[in-house]
Chains A and B, each alone.
Chain A
Amino acid sequence: QTVVTQEPSFSVSPGGTVTLTCGLSSGSVSTSYYPSWYQQTPGQAPRTLIYTTNTPSSGVPDRFSGSILGNKAALTITGAQADDESDYYCVLYVGSGIWVFGGGTKLTVL
């Protein structure tokens, strides 16, 4: 069974830069997994930030970027703002029509 790993929590100062990662319990993440990132605040539907590694969704500020760093997918927020405080989820395509989400990272901006 594929497990997608994310940091449970992270903290960043306003104006700072933070990189959240998305890995596999076994193996390396590559572009072939179409890693994608979503932001969610309590009570709201997820909002797509980045899809297929590094393509920003429409209307997403350019302070959000996606990449592959080492053996993981990464979401970098440059110049964090207070309203970036949210839960962030990644998802990977693991083949045979199956998608697996990570457990999410709770980002605190303080």
Chain B
Amino acid sequence: EVQLVESGGGLVKPGGSLRLSCAASGFTFSSYSMNWVRQAPGKGLEWVSSITGSSTYKYYADSVKGRFTISRDNAKNSLYLQMNSLRAEDTAVYYCARQGPFDYWGQGTLVTVSS
């Protein structure tokens, strides 16, 4: 059974940093691209970033480019999102999702950016 479990969310001040993790199981992790998708409170879904299986290619939404960095460790079956220079508008539930289009989703982790 495919499982994706996010962690690392929390409360952070504007300008601060946070690192999200996504632990994957139930499939050959290195064979799949992975993504981060977020959802601000009461709003719709927003694709944030993607990374290919071998980490060769990384893609970012304009809203996070230059501030967020996606990475993965295939030996640990884990996906990461390093978030720097956080803003209030980055407040959201962050989901990791397999492949694109996104066939499996985690339950999400809440990031709150507030002073």
B101 contact set on A, CB distance < 8 A: 34, 36, 48, 51-52, 91, 93, 99
- State whether A98 and B59 are in contact (beta carbons under 8 Å apart), knowing that A36-B101, A93-B100 are contacts in the complex: yes
Whether B46 pairs with A101 at a CB distance below 8 angstroms is: yes
Whether A45 pairs with B59 at a CB distance below 8 angstroms is: no
Tally of contact residues, A, Cβ under 8 A: 24
Does A25 sit at the interface, judged by CB under 8 A?
no
Per-residue interface assignment for chain B, residues 87 to 115, with 1 indicating a CB less than 8 Å from any chain A CB and 0 otherwise: 00000000100001111111110000000
- State whether A57 and B103 are in contact (beta carbons under 8 Å apart), knowing that A46-B95, A89-B44, A89-B45 are contacts in the complex: yes
Tally of contact residues, B, Cβ under 8 A: 20
Whether B107 pairs with A45 at a CB distance below 8 angstroms is: yes
Does A97 sit at the interface, judged by CB under 8 A?
yes
Whether A48 pairs with B47 at a CB distance below 8 angstroms is: no
A103 contact set on B, CB distance < 8 A: 44
A34 contact set on B, CB distance < 8 A: 100-101
B107 contact set on A, CB distance < 8 A: 45
The one of A38, A93, A97 in contact with B45, judged by C-beta atoms closer than 8 angstroms, is A38
Does B61 sit at the interface, judged by CB under 8 A?
yes
Whether B102 pairs with A36 at a CB distance below 8 angstroms is: yes
Q: What's the minimum C-beta distance from B19 to chain A, rounded to whole angstroms?
A: 21
Does B21 sit at the interface, judged by CB under 8 A?
no
Whether A99 pairs with B44 at a CB distance below 8 angstroms is: no
The one of B57, B100, B103, B108 in contact with A45, judged by C-beta atoms closer than 8 angstroms, is B108
The CA of A93 and the CA of B50, in the complex, are separated in Å by 12
A47 contact set on B, CB distance < 8 A: 105
Residue positions of A touching B, CB distance < 8 A: 34, 36, 38, 40, 45-48, 51-52, 57, 87, 89, 91, 93, 96-104
Subset of 11 A-B contacts with CB under 8 Å: A34-B101, A36-B102, A45-B107, A45-B108, A46-B37, A46-B105, A48-B102, A98-B61, A100-B47, A101-B44, A101-B46
